[in-house]
Amino acid sequence: MPFLVDTTKRSDQEEMMDDFSIGGDLLRDVLDKLENINRWLGGNLVTVNSLKKVLKNHPKEQEIIIADLGCGHGDILRDVAKFGKKNGYKFKLIGFDANPTAIAYANELSKAYPEISFMVEDIFSDAFKKRKFDVVLATLFFHHFKEKPLVTFLEKTLNQTKKAVIVNDLHRHKLAYYLFKLLSVFISNKMIINDGLISVLRGFKRKDLEVISNKLKVKPQISWKWAFRWQWILKKV
């Protein structure tokens, strides 16, 4: 198969999911199927394992405030809550998403987790900028940003965060693109197929993450994980 797709530069093509007005059963189906795909490929573990690293020496009796940006229907925070309970951490978990349908669904699915709350809030709003966290999570979220606004946002977010920003995002690679194209044969939801392929092309190469880290003046921890994911940890000095 000829590798015709160009991954030299990040794509700026918009995904259907970027339209926050999308809701109803369509969005719920998309969120459910994305969760299943990510679990099957082991993607959610990248975020949880990153959190293990960051909290390695944190006193367990101290409350830890963790924000999840672009939380969708809250699957990452439910995984984090399970990890916290299993390991004796005292978590306060807050999910942020601009789509009210996603937040409503997240609340429905998270009733058994009193440590989790969700908010419909624009992360660029003044209200969000005033918030303080110990750790910020961004799973498959930052590829939606162009580089300049991403750097600006991360500068502000690092100032709001005591310990680290943990990023789990896509590796922009030809093989990743064609593997997802092959996987899409088994996916019935056209939005997932469309957005999945665009997401890969909006993903990052290691050099992209290094350049952004240099602009932020932080020393990052960057590791490649299956399936074509970057574990990118920005720790406070």
In angstroms, the CA 107 to CA 204 distance is: 31
Would you say residue 40 lies in a domain? yes
| Token representation of residue 94 | 């807050």
User: Nearest Cα to 210, choosing from 200, 202, 222?
Assistant: 222
132 within a domain of the structure (yes/no): yes
Instruction: Note whether residue 1 is domain-resident.
Output: no
Q: What is the CATH number of the domain that holds 100?
A: 3.40.50.150
Q: Does some domain include residue 85?
A: yes
Overall domain count for the chain:
1
How much is the pTM?
0.95
What sign does the dihedral 83-67-201-218 (CA atoms) show? negative
- Tell me what pLDDT residue 1 has: 41
pLDDT at site 26: 85
Helix residue ranges, H only, 41-140: 43-54, 75-87, 100-109, 126-129
Residue tagged 């693109």 (tokens): 177
pLDDT in tens, the chain (237 residues): 445 899 999 999 999 877 767 778 888 999 999 999 888 888 899 999 999 999 999 999 999 999 999 999 999 999 999 999 999 999 999 999 999 999 999 999 999 999 999 999 999 999 999 999 999 999 999 999 999 999 999 999 999 999 999 999 999 999 999 999 998 998 888 999 999 999 999 999 999 999 999 999 999 999 999 999 999 999 986
Kindly state whether residue 6 falls inside one of the protein's structural domains. no
Q: Is residue 13 part of a domain?
A: no
Domain limits at 23?
18-235
Does residue 182 lie within any of the structural domains? Answer: yes
Decide if 11 is inside a domain.
no
